[in-house]
Amino acid sequence: MLLIVGSFGKYQKLILYLVLFPATLPCGFFGWNQIMMSGSPTEYHCKLPWENLTSAETIRLLPNKTDEEGKQVHDKCRMYDVNYTDPNVFDTIRNLSGIPTVPCMYGWHYDRSDWTSTVVTEWDLVCDKELYVTHAYTINGAGSLFSMFFMGFVADRYGRRTGYFVNYIIMLVSSVATAFSPNYLWFCIFRFVAGFGPGWAYTLPMMIAMEIIGPEPRARMAVLVSIYYTVGYLLLGGLAWLITDWRVFALVSCAPMLIFIGFWCIIPESPRWLLSQKRYDDVSQFFVKVARINKTKLEPKFVENLPQILRKIDEDTQATDDKGLRGYSFLDLFRSRNLSKKTLILVFINVCNLGVFLGLTFYGPTINPNPHWNFFLSGIAEMPSYLFTTIMCNRLGRRLTLVSSMILSGIVGLAAVGVPNSATGVIMALVFLSKFTISIAFVVSELLEDEIFPTVVRAEGHSVTSFGSTFFTLGVPYIVFLGHQYMALPLIIFGGVCLVAAFVSLFLPETVNTDLPQTLEDGELFGSRMTWKEIFSFQLPSKRKNLDPVSVLELRSLRKDSKREIRHED
């Protein structure tokens, strides 16, 4: 039907460029604002009960310790077990040796050059509570995992458009509630609810966009959505640099959501969802509206009979499917050997890619001395990767692009072996390169999902990989936490993971220049007879025209039924 009314005309461009794509900007904001709310100062030390002491004078009254590089540094978490209110305490500390130490008794003094206030400085989440920040990240990720069931139900039961706005309202309310959290416990509760939003704020606009345009511009649109998302990520870094109070930052970072909630009257409902709900009149009105804005003329009798034509197409589509779309489930992905193998490989690759991608995003701001600049660099590394992905995927193939990018990311990560904690510039450069290469792999792996899973279980395949990757990456913040002891360790771990994933990726078939598998049988046969030579070579299939079979069938059926109805009226 889109081929008749215009698959990428004025209507689609207005909705995409002015509404749906900008709507992904808050996803970059909301998905990562917790990193900046939880910023930990570079320097801090025990507070002493003396009002007129400078920070340098206080440090001289505190014990030292030997760091990982053998240097003497002040202990951030302990103080001498002496009476600091005693006027002679200075002489006591200077003249005695072997004085026992105790944890900080009067709180901490923080270097506030980067942040005026964060959850770390407000609730003293340092030393023995240092892991609390990591717990909060994992709790937020658990909310994202739970949202797959809740928001998925809303989007399928009440529509993509309704799900879109429910999601934005949840993000807005939870972000405002976060700003007024009275303590750490409530902060975690609100961050769990906030975890519902970011993934769906990206997925639902993308889903609507893909369902109102034709097949040809879809790859380009996917790249544009990623660019908008990254722009939001970069703007967040600048916003955090300007607003250094975490409560104010939490409120301001959710402000754009008010704008997009106001788009309720503009954003269309997915025509495919309307068709699945048998709302043929609504689907007809949608296509008539698209045709009018795209300046496509439709015959009056065709418009009059359009609901009946759509009904006929829907009934014929279901009749030609022995099982019916509602008869498939994710279990069908595991009923045959080859399809099971490819599904498990895709899950594993997504776990690795998402884990490394998230890990590097969390990891960048922890590399001092400039967390805001490091956060910005980590995001800017993604931008050129989208251009490279677009060029490489078609010229080199999906497999070579995926494998080579993960190998490079692995080599960059392992290059951090032996890098000392003091070499922050070297580590940040390696993070930048690794983020660039893993971003390529991340985009390609999502493309492979679309091209390997059969049409009848493609949505189920996405659900399986999304659930698996989200579940198994809940522990990523704890890997990043290891960097508190040895800064390069997370990067080394991520590098090893990438090399393993690169090897596993070799066992996926090449999808460039191939038709999309439609049935379970197609999915099982696709790549079922790969030889060892094919596994370790990257020869591309010969080029051929690849039509969208669904669009072609719909067009043929539509034309035949419209002629039949017009003749009947005559």
- 44 forms bridges with which residues in the sheet? 110
User: Quick one: pLDDT at residue 556?
Assistant: 34
Name the percent of the chain lying above pLDDT 70: 89
* Residues 58 and 108: beta-carbon distance below 8 Å: no
CA atoms within 13 A on the CB side of 46: 23
* Residues 118 and 39: beta-carbon distance below 8 Å: yes
pTM score, whole prediction: 0.81
* Residues 104 and 77: beta-carbon distance below 8 Å: yes
Q: Is residue 35 classed as helix, strand or coil in its secondary structure?
A: helix
Torsion angle, alpha carbons of 52, 55, 56, 62, to 10: 100
398 Cβ contact partners less than 8 Å away, ≥ 6 residues apart: 444, 447, 448, 451, 508, 510, 511, 512
* Residues 471 and 414: beta-carbon distance below 8 Å: no
Question: How far is 4 from 11, CA to CA, in rounded Å?
Answer: 14
Residue 369: asked if its preceding bond is cis (omega within 30°), the reply is yes
Question: How far is 82 from 92, CA to CA, in rounded Å?
Answer: 8
In this structure, what DSSP letter does residue 117 have?
B
User: Quick one: pLDDT at residue 43?
Assistant: 86
User: Quick one: pLDDT at residue 250?
Assistant: 92
Instruction: Please choose, from the candidates 110, 128, 104, 133, the residue with its C-alpha nearest in 3D space to the C-alpha of residue 41.
Output: 110
Cβ burial 290-326 (10 Å sphere, 16+ → b, else e): bbebbebebeeebeebbbebbbbbeeebeeeeeeeee
The tokens describing 164, both together, are 């879109």
Cβ burial 186-207 (10 Å sphere, 16+ → b, else e): ebbbbbbbbbbbbbbbbbbbbb
Q: Output phi, psi for 484, to 5 deg.
A: -65, -25
194 Cβ contact partners less than 8 Å away, ≥ 6 residues apart: 30, 34, 140, 143, 170, 171, 174, 175, 178
Instruction: Please choose, from the candidates 464, 492, 472, 471, the residue with its C-alpha nearest in 3D space to the C-alpha of residue 480.
Output: 492
* Residues 88 and 62: beta-carbon distance below 8 Å: no
Q: Where are the chain's structural domains?
A: 327-539
* Residues 29 and 315: beta-carbon distance below 8 Å: no
User: Quick one: pLDDT at residue 132?
Assistant: 95
Instruction: Please choose, from the candidates 262, 167, 269, 168, the residue with its C-alpha nearest in 3D space to the C-alpha of residue 212.
Output: 269
CA atoms within 13 A on the CB side of 335: 10
Cα-based angle 131, 39, 486 (whole degrees, multiple of 5): 55
In tens digits, the chain (570 residues) has pLDDT values of 666 777 778 888 888 888 777 877 777 778 888 998 998 888 888 888 877 777 777 777 888 887 766 677 888 898 888 887 777 777 777 766 678 889 998 899 898 888 899 999 999 999 999 999 999 999 999 998 888 778 777 877 888 888 888 888 888 899 999 999 999 999 999 999 998 888 777 777 777 777 777 766 766 776 777 788 888 888 888 898 999 999 999 999 888 888 878 777 788 888 878 887 888 888 888 888 888 888 888 777 777 777 887 788 767 666 555 444 446 778 888 888 999 999 999 999 999 999 999 999 888 888 867 888 888 888 888 888 888 887 887 788 888 999 999 999 999 999 999 888 888 889 989 999 999 999 999 888 888 887 888 877 777 787 788 888 888 889 999 999 998 888 899 999 999 999 999 999 999 888 887 777 877 888 888 888 888 888 888 777 766 544 343 333 333 333 334 333 333 434
Cα-based angle 32, 240, 370 (whole degrees, multiple of 5): 95
User: Quick one: pLDDT at residue 304?
Assistant: 78
**Domain 327-539 homologous superfamily, CATH:** MFS general substrate transporter like domains (1.20.1250.20)
Q: What is the pLDDT of residues 275-294, one digit of tens each?
A: 878 888 888 888 888 888 88
Residue type, 52: N
Residue bearing tokens 């970072």: 253
Instruction: Please choose, from the candidates 267, 287, 214, 144, the residue with its C-alpha nearest in 3D space to the C-alpha of residue 547.
Output: 214
Residue bearing tokens 């005026």: 116
